[in-house]
């Protein structure tokens, strides 16, 4: 077995026994954000598009989930589906407009659309404004087969959702579609000259990323039982960028590592109040100045250079 | 008195004035962003935080040293501009060779640090700043507070002076040339790195100046810059960053549109600028005054 396969088996085994050693709600939150960061990173790392407004998909999906389960009284499966489809539809509209510009403008446009969605969420009645949706019931899944009121049971459901989401990301990257996407990222005029319609590939990547962010957001609403304005805020968009950056932009496992680090940090620093912002900002600055590859990227580099020296 | 579509003239012209004032801030901030981006290739996310620092500098100067508004109008931009120079020398300088995204991420991180420190120290609620020219004029169709009128005129003057400095002076010519081809301009013996530092300092000073002007109108608070900078990004996308005059016209124009939306359909006033952005992206993706590269 290759070292990466061993690592995968160890990680899977660890994730199965984790809820017996760590607080399940913490693990589930971290898994949701890991999926969210992975979806964001799919777009940045493999399509070269940095969205600074991904909270709109995450947050709106949380609202959709909450509305379907709480206001309509439907089972959580349909809530998850509504979250994914809603986020994908939002991704289709905003993505079609945003991909008309490139580079830094793309980041500004997505940021602006996310701010627009935020303002809409403040005003629309179904989001309940400043109060948000609270006390979303944890109704049993699959017609009563899986009671998710127990945190440990829900943990395995969330783990399954996370693995499904990450498997999708892995499949996209290692498919012909992913190869074309990388070609467009590296040299768009050349890909176009080979007959690929770059904009359609970019838009599809954007919609997929939005849908997976939506899956993460809806799952988060199922776990924590609320959806609030924080989920759609610019701060949330920045946080997911930070997670991917800490772990390593453009790496597959980086966003997972980054999400666990940032969520752990938030748990420990909760008592610092406003100062958390300063620490998060400082991490941004330090990483951009000194460790641009992120934790996973730097370790991978070190591993490679070590191998070269030995060989 | 005439009524226009059932809206009374004082309400209409009052909102028009408010719109012009907002537009004045959009114009000043998008101008600074465009100048900085032109030379540094960095979208200065810290712009909103630096605007907030300008307002806070004026407030602190008044509260601690009893410095009047008119002196703060000069001192605060210099102080904040110098902090900007330090940021450029210590950090931004080292990342120019990288993708634009890193400049965006770095300045985003810096804005979190600055905003977080101000929130930590002074909380999120605002503090009032007394108007330096109280009173106003009754124009018959509306009441014009003197200070608000002054802000619109001052912003116009600041914008036009900046335009003149860039388009019509020798330093401005160097700046435009360095934007086009920094290596060649260096070959002519012009100190381009220093020019870049000065440009960033002045751009940041411009944001701080806008902050000082905003202090007597808005509450001075740690959050005042964050929301503004997000709208200004939309303004920059709409106008395109190619032209200085374009930024000024777009800024004032969008302020007016926002003001008018408040009169005719208030619920959309928060989002109208983003809707305009979506329409511009559909019709002219490069922006109203932008060049497609």
Annotated domain spans of chain A: 24-233
- The pLDDT tens digits for A281-297 are 999 999 999 888 888 88
Kindly report the nearest CA distance between residue A67 and chain B, in angstroms.
22
φ, ψ dihedrals at B247, nearest 5°: -60, -45
In the structure, what pLDDT confidence band is assigned to residue A310 with cuts at 50, 70 and 90? low
Q: B150 burial class (0-12, 13-18, 19+ CB within 10 angstroms)? A: middle
A266–chain B Cβ distance below 8 A for any pair: no
For residue B1, the model assigns a pLDDT of 47
CA distance A119 to A240: 20
More confident residue, A3 or B266: B266
Average pLDDT over residues A37-58: 93
Task: Give the number of domains in chain B.
Answer: 1
Whether residue B150 lies inside any domain: the answer is: yes
Whether residue B2 lies inside any domain: the answer is: no
CA distance B226 to B51: 9
For residue B291, the model assigns a pLDDT of 65
- The pLDDT tens digits for A108-158 are 999 999 999 999 999 888 888 888 888 888 887 777 778 877 888 899 999
Whether residue B242 lies inside any domain: the answer is: no
Per the CB < 8 Å rule, is A289 touching B94?
A: yes
Q: How much of chain B is in helix, strand and coil states, percent to nearest 5?
A: 75, 5, 25
Instruction: Please give the biggest Cα pair distance in chain A.
Output: 64
Q: Which residues of chain B have a pLDDT value below 50?
A: 1, 293
For residue A203, the model assigns a pLDDT of 95
For residue B293, the model assigns a pLDDT of 45
Whether residue B152 lies inside any domain: the answer is: yes
Residues of chain A with Cβ-Cβ distance to B282 below 8 Å are 97, 100
Per the CB < 8 Å rule, is A281 touching B112?
A: yes
Whether residue B168 lies inside any domain: the answer is: yes
By residue range, what is the domain housing residue B140? 19-222
Residue B110 and residue A289 in contact, taking contact as beta carbons nearer than 8 Å: no
Whether residue B243 lies inside any domain: the answer is: no
For residue A262, the model assigns a pLDDT of 92
- pLDDT of residue A64 exceeding 70: yes
Classify each residue of A74-103 as buried b or exposed e, where b means 16 or more C-beta atoms within 10 Å of its C-beta.
ebbeebbbbbbebbbebbeebbbbbbbbeb
CA distance B34 to B239: 10
- Identify the closest residue of chain B to A291 by CA–CA distance: B102
- The pLDDT tens digits for A9-38 are 888 888 888 888 888 899 999 999 999 999
Per the CB < 8 Å rule, is B270 touching A277?
A: no
Give the DSSP letter string of B42-56: ---TTHHHHHHHHHH
Whether residue B1 lies inside any domain: the answer is: no
A124–chain B Cβ distance below 8 A for any pair: no
CA distance A59 to A119: 13
φ, ψ dihedrals at B240, nearest 5°: 80, 150
Give the start-end residues of each E strand in chain A.
Answer: none
- pLDDT of residue A41 exceeding 90: yes
For residue B5, the model assigns a pLDDT of 64
Whether residue B94 lies inside any domain: the answer is: yes
CA distance B205 to B212: 10
The reported pTM is: 0.91
- pLDDT of residue A86 exceeding 90: yes
């Amino acid at each position: 077995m290759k070292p990466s396969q061993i690592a995968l088996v160890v990680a899977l085994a660890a994730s199965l026994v984790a809820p017996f050693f760590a607080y399940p709600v913490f693990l589930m939150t971290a898994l949701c954000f890991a999926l969210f960061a992975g979806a964001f990173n799919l777009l940045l790392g493999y399509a070269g598009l940095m969205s600074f407004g991904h909270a709109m998909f995450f947050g709106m999906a949380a609202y959709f989930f909450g509305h379907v389960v709480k206001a309509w009284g439907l089972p959580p499966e349909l809530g998850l589906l509504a979250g994914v489809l809603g986020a994908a539809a939002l991704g289709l509209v905003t993505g079609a407009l945003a991909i008309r510009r490139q580079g830094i403008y793309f980041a500004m446009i997505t940021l602006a659309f996310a701010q627009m969605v935020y303002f809409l969420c403040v005003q629309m009645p179904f989001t309940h404004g400043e109060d948000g949706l609270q006390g979303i019931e944890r109704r049993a899944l699959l017609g009563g087969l899986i009671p998710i009121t127990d945190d440990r049971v829900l943990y395995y459901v969330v783990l399954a959702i996370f693995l499904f989401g990450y498997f999708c990301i892995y499949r996209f990257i290692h498919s012909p579609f992913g190869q074309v996407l990388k070609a467009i990222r590296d040299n768009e005029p050349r890909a176009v000259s080979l007959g690929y319609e770059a904009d359609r590939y970019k838009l599809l990547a954007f919609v997929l990323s939005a849908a997976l962010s939506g899956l993460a957001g809806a799952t988060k609403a199922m776990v924590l039982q609320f959806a609030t304005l924080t989920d759609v805020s610019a701060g949330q968009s920045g946080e997911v960028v930070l997670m991917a950056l800490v772990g390593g932009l453009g790496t597959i496992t980086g966003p997972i590592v980054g999400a666990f680090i940032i969520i752990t940090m938030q748990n420990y620093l909760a008592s610092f109040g406003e100062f958390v912002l300063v620490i998060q900002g400082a991490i941004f600055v330090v990483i951009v100045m000194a460790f641009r590859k992120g934790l996973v990227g730097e370790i991978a580099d070190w591993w490679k250079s070590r191998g070269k020296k030995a060989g | 008195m005439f009524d226009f579509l059932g809206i009374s003239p004082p309400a209409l012209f009052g909102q028009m004035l408010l719109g012009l004032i907002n537009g004045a801030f959009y114009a000043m901030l998008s101008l600074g962003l465009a100048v900085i981006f032109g030379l540094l290739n960095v979208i200065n996310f810290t712009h909103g935080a630096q605007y907030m620092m300008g307002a806070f500098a004026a407030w602190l100067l008044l509260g601690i040293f009893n410095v009047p508004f008119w002196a703060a109008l000069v001192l605060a931009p210099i102080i904040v501009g110098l902090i900007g120079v330090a940021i450029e020398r210590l950090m931004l300088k080292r990342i120019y060779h990288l993708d634009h995204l890193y400049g965006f991420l770095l300045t985003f991180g810096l804005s979190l640090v600055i905003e977080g420190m101000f929130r930590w120290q002074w909380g999120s609620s605002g503090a009032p700043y007394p108007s330096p020219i109280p009173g106003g004029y009754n124009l018959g169709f509306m009441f014009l507070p003197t200070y608000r009128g002054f802000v619109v005129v001052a912003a116009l003057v600041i914008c036009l002076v900046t335009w003149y400095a860039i388009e019509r002076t020798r330093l401005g010519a160097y700046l435009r040339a360095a934007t086009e081809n920094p290596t060649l301009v260096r070959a002519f013996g012009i100190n381009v790195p220093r020019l870049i530092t000065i440009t960033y300092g002045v751009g940041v000073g411009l944001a701080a100046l806008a902050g000082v002007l905003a202090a007597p109108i808005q509450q001075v608070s740690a959050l005042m810059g964050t929301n503004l900078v997000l709208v200004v990004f939309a303004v920059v996308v709409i106008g395109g960053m190619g032209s200085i005059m374009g930024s000024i016209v777009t800024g004032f124009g969008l302020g007016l549109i926002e003001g008018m939306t408040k009169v005719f359909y208030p619920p959309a006033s928060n989002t109208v600028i983003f809707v305009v952005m979506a329409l511009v992206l559909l019709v002219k993706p490069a922006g109203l005054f932008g060049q497609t590269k």
